[in-house]
């Protein structure tokens, strides 16, 4: 596949394992994933990761809600390593666009990952704010778009065309819901897709015989029924 697979998570052991086997091309995190992983020392966790993973992109997100403090945090995070991409939400919690901040940071040479994008209007605004000379990820939450009953593929294809306006902007398919999304992202030419460890493990099923898969499923049901001691 051409699409690059980034692991989405905040468990250090999972990140190191994926990096060791070379199954992914980068990593992304966010405050929600960190909280679920029980992380309380944001900076300490980031430095532990960066001490051991230096050769692939890793995204760490700002968590302030006003643009001046976001900028301060972004510059601090960017200083942690050459492979660091700073995640900036497309707006703050009041719906105020972060495009001016994106422009300032990109102009300063900060590599960015613009996150929580759901609309083509947001894609256009973000891409316009990026620098043609600085790498950036444009993260469109295709999975959450699909959760609303909207097919994300047409939107993603248009977003890909918009990203071509900036040669170093890469479209990222965020929040996939199934392995099929990886193949869809690859087929449409999306640059990156973020995946959880459970989806990565299912990539080994590519090309598997459906008849064989069916039989294995029946055998699983039979085995588990016996193990549970069911009777009628």
Would you name the residues annotated as active-site residues?
Answer: 87
Q: Would you say 31 and 48 are in contact if contact means Cβ atoms under 8 Å apart?
A: no
Q: Would you say 98 and 74 are in contact if contact means Cβ atoms under 8 Å apart?
A: no
Q: Is residue 197 classed exposed, middle or buried when 0-12, 13-18 and 19+ CB atoms within 10 A define those classes?
A: middle
Residues in a beta bridge with 131:
none
Per the structure block, which two tokens stand in for 182? 């990886």
- DSSP for 109-168, written as a single string: T--EEEEEE-SHHHHHHHHHHS-TTS-EEEEE-HHHHHHTT--HHHHHHHHHHHHTTSTT
Residue 174 DSSP code: -
**Which positions ≥6 away from 155 have C-beta within 8 Å?**
120, 140, 142, 145
Q: How many angstroms separate the Cα of 150 from the Cα of each of 91, 124, 163, 177, 179?
A: 22, 20, 21, 14, 18
Residues in a beta bridge with 114:
88, 138
Q: How many CB atoms lie within 10 A of CB 158?
A: 13
């Amino acid at each position: 596949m051409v699409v690059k697979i980034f692991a989405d998570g905040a468990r250090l052991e999972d990140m190191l394992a994926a990096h060791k086997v070379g199954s992914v091309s980068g990593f992304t995190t966010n405050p929600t994933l960190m909280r679920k992983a029980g992380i309380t020392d944001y900076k300490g966790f980031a430095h532990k990761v960066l001490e051991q993973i230096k050769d692939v992109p890793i995204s760490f997100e700002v968590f302030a809600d006003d643009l001046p403090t976001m900028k301060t945090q972004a510059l601090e995070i960017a200083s942690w390593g050459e492979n660091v991409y700073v995640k900036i939400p497309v707006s703050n919690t009041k719906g105020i666009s972060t495009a001016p901040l994106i422009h300032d940071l990109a102009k300063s040479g900060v590599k960015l990952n613009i996150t929580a994008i759901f609309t083509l209007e947001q894609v256009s605004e973000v891409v316009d704010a990026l620098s043609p000379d600085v790498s950036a990820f444009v993260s469109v939450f295709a999975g959450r778009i699909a959760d609303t009953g909207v097919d994300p593929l047409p939107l993603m294809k248009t977003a890909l065309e918009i990203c071509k306006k900036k040669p170093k902007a890469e479209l990222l398919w965020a929040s996939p819901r199934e392995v099929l999304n990886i193949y869809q992202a690859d087929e449409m030419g999306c640059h990156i897709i973020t995946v959880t460890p459970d989806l990565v493990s299912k990539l080994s099923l590519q090309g598997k015989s459906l008849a064989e898969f069916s039989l294995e499923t029946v055998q699983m049901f039979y085995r588990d029924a016996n193990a549970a001691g069911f009777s009628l």
